[in-house]
Amino acid sequence: MAMFKCNAVEDERASCLCHTSAFARFNQQLDARFSRRAFLAGVTATAGALSFGQARAAVPEAPKAPIAFTNIRLFDGKSETTRTGQRVIVEGGKIAAVEPDNAPPPTGARVIDGGGRTLMPGLIDAHYHIIMATVPITALLTADVGYLNLLAAGEAERTLMRGFTSIRDMAGPSFSLKRAIDEGTVAGPRIWPSGAMISQTSGHGDYRFPYEIPAAPGAPLSRGDAIGGGAIADGPSELLKRTREQLMLGASQIKLAAGGGVSSNYDPIDVAQYTEAEFRAAVDAAENWGTYVAVHAYTPRAIQTAIRGGVRCIEHGQLMDEATAKIMAEQGVWASLQPFLDDEDVTPFPANSPNRAKQIQMTAGTDTAYGLAKKYKLKTAWGTDTLFDAKLATRQGAQLAKMIRWYTPGEVLHTATGVNAQLLAMSGPRNPYPAAIGVVEAGAYADLLLVEGDPTRDINLVADAAKNFRIIMKDGRLYKATLSAT
């Protein structure tokens, strides 16, 4: 059954684009991707993921008394090592004190004996898509937005139960979910939302179908624009408008597509997108609100043009060269890298498809990108960028653990806590959470994990949260506690 059917009568078909060979091939491909069987399989996989692992965590009540963590090995997120002889006091959703373990606990405090386990900050994923992580693309492009948010609420809880207490959402309509989490309606991580990814016509965020082109004046928004996943903008004036719209909705930072992508069907990966003037317009709008612009980019040209336009963070960068890394180092531009390898975590694309060819090219550059980041001491964040795959989302911690390919366990843990927190803090006055995260210090949010063992020696501990995370705390609330307090 064809996805699109032409209503032209026989005499009109010679001039109808629907009957060209190119459109016929496109329609066949779309049928394969959007078949009822594929749609139901994807939705079933997503729904099935809701039942994996630990039971769904309701938002617990705030403790009425202080909590004292004693007998712990402390990883504070400020360095790559642990220390002993410390006690951490939690009160009112924040860390009240980090003090010697031999001091008397506060009056009435509940004491949790860590048994020598590691107490550390909650993990931070600096490049996530909470709305789109587990939803199959068929559902994203066809389902009601309310349904997408319900699925995302389930993923938010699972993300938290994997030990990720904060995420930087790098495209997607996550504002409502963030509000529900912050209000305590559903359980989930803190969210730094970007809102819609702003893209040029034909860019990485232009998911229109060929039949929607050209866009007629007054035509309905594309599906991506309508749900808030993307925002097509061309020219400085439109960049100003779209950037200001996302800021109005509550974006803590702005995301633009600066170059070709793997998952997008029409833009070659080598193509740079947007001009310096267009970047500058978005940057001017963001900086006026006290925040910054990050861009999706792989290639030297895309990265360098964005930097000249004032962009402060490069998402991906797998195809950067040495000259580009030098520029990033000189100008203090962040590299938000993901450990994309051609392994079990790769997003599946059909063999011999253009997407698969781009994927092979991109993943082949990952080792080089990390090597350059280390050589030039780039400010480097970590994230997963999981999309459209409920099974892959369960490997969020495993994707952090694979960073051992380039870094020591202590370096990996430091990146996913204190270092990632520095990137999130670049939102300045648009930072939705004023206290510190990613560190264990007085005044910071009490977003904490108690880990069985020492992840600064064995980073693979973070890959199995169900087994190794004995306590998961966010905002001082115990979402998981397998140790009793006295």
Question: What is the residue whose two structure tokens read 């993901």?
Answer: 338
In this structure, are 397 and 447 located in the same domain?
A: no
In this structure, are 105 and 155 located in the same domain?
A: no
CATH number of domain containing 462: 2.30.40.10
- Angle ∠(165,168,172) on CA atoms, nearest 5: 120
What pLDDT, on the 0 to 100 scale, is given for residue 57?
Answer: 62
In this structure, are 210 and 116 located in the same domain?
A: no
Pick from 135-149, 349-363, 403-417: least confident: 135-149
In this structure, are 342 and 371 located in the same domain?
A: yes
- Average pLDDT of span 443-453: 99
In this structure, are 236 and 263 located in the same domain?
A: yes
In this structure, are 107 and 186 located in the same domain?
A: no
Distance (Å, whole) CA 224 – CA 88:
45
Q: Which residue has the higher pLDDT, 62 or 220?
A: 62
Q: Are 94 and 445 in contact (CB under 8 A)?
A: yes
pLDDT at 13 over 70: no
Tokens (6 digits) for 413: 């843990």
- Average pLDDT of span 440-466: 99
pLDDT at 41 over 70: no
What pLDDT, on the 0 to 100 scale, is given for residue 276?
Answer: 99
In this structure, are 332 and 468 located in the same domain?
A: no
Return the closest-CA partner of residue 153 out of 112, 125, 189, 105: 189
- Average pLDDT of span 469-486: 94
pLDDT at 358 over 80: yes
pLDDT at 33 over 50: no
Question: 296 by DSSP, 3-state: which?
Answer: strand
pTM score > 0.95 for this model? no
What phi and psi values does residue 271 have, to the nearest 5 degrees? -85, 130
pLDDT band at 22 (very low <50, low <70, confident <90, very high): very low
pLDDT at 48 over 50: no
In this structure, are 157 and 246 located in the same domain?
A: yes
Q: For 69, left (φ over 0), alpha (ψ -120 to 50), or beta? A: beta
Residue 157: other Cβ atoms inside 10 A: 23
183 is a domain residue? yes
pLDDT band at 40 (very low <50, low <70, confident <90, very high): very low
Which segments of 301-384 are extended strands (E)? 313-316, 334-337, 380-382
pLDDT at 416 over 80: yes
Q: Are 385 and 338 in contact (CB under 8 A)?
A: yes
pLDDT digits (tens, 9 = 90+) for 79-136: 999 999 999 999 999 999 999 999 888 899 999 999 999 999 999 999 999 999 999 8
- Average pLDDT of span 365-374: 99
Question: 279 by DSSP, 3-state: which?
Answer: helix
In this structure, are 159 and 210 located in the same domain?
A: yes
Residue 101: other Cβ atoms inside 10 A: 17
Q: Which residues on neighbouring strands pair with residue 434, listed in sequence order?
A: none
- Average pLDDT of span 343-353: 90
Residue 110: other Cβ atoms inside 10 A: 17
In the DSSP assignment, the letter for residue 453 is S
Return the closest-CA partner of residue 362 out of 262, 266, 294, 264: 262
State which residues form the domain around 107: 67-122+440-481
How much is the mean pLDDT over the chain?
A: 90
Distance (Å, whole) CA 107 – CA 166:
31
**Radius of gyration for the chain, computed over Cα atoms and rounded to the nearest angstrom:** 23
Tokens (6 digits) for 8: 């032209």
What pLDDT, on the 0 to 100 scale, is given for residue 365?
Answer: 98
- Average pLDDT of span 322-349: 96
What pLDDT, on the 0 to 100 scale, is given for residue 3?
Answer: 43
CATH number of domain containing 346: 3.20.20.140
Domain boundary residue among 387, 406, 425? Answer: 406
Domain boundary residue among 352, 383, 406? Answer: 406
435 is a domain residue? no
Rank 205-214, 281-290, 338-347 by mean pLDDT and report only the highest.
Answer: 281-290
In this structure, are 302 and 168 located in the same domain?
A: yes
The tally of domains found in the chain comes to 2
What pLDDT, on the 0 to 100 scale, is given for residue 37?
Answer: 42
In this structure, are 390 and 444 located in the same domain?
A: no
In this structure, are 343 and 475 located in the same domain?
A: no
Q: What torsion do the CA atoms of 55, 56, 57, 59 make, to the nearest 10 degrees?
A: -150
- Average pLDDT of span 374-381: 99
pLDDT at 26 over 60: no
Q: Are 161 and 433 in contact (CB under 8 A)?
A: no
Q: Write the single-letter amino acid at 294.
A: A
What is the H or E stretch that residue 256 is in? strand 254-257
Return the closest-CA partner of residue 403 out of 447, 452, 366, 448: 366
* Residues 6+ positions from 188 with CB-CB distance below 8 Å: 130, 153, 156, 157, 159, 160, 177, 180, 181
pLDDT at 182 over 80: yes
| Sheet-wide strand order for 164-169 | 123-128, 164-169, 190-193
- Average pLDDT of span 69-77: 98
* Residues 6+ positions from 318 with CB-CB distance below 8 Å: 298, 337, 340, 362, 363, 365, 366, 368, 369
Q: Are 314 and 375 in contact (CB under 8 A)?
A: no
What pLDDT, on the 0 to 100 scale, is given for residue 39?
Answer: 41
398 is a domain residue? yes
Residue 297: other Cβ atoms inside 10 A: 32
What pLDDT, on the 0 to 100 scale, is given for residue 30?
Answer: 44
Question: 99 by DSSP, 3-state: which?
Answer: strand
pLDDT band at 404 (very low <50, low <70, confident <90, very high): very high
Annotate 373-433 with three-state secondary structure: HHHCCCCEEECCCCCCCHHHHCCHHHHHHHHHHCCCHHHHHHHHHHHHHHHHHHHHHHCCC
What pLDDT, on the 0 to 100 scale, is given for residue 136?
Answer: 87
* Residues 6+ positions from 152 with CB-CB distance below 8 Å: 130, 131, 133, 134, 135, 174, 177
- Average pLDDT of span 353-376: 97
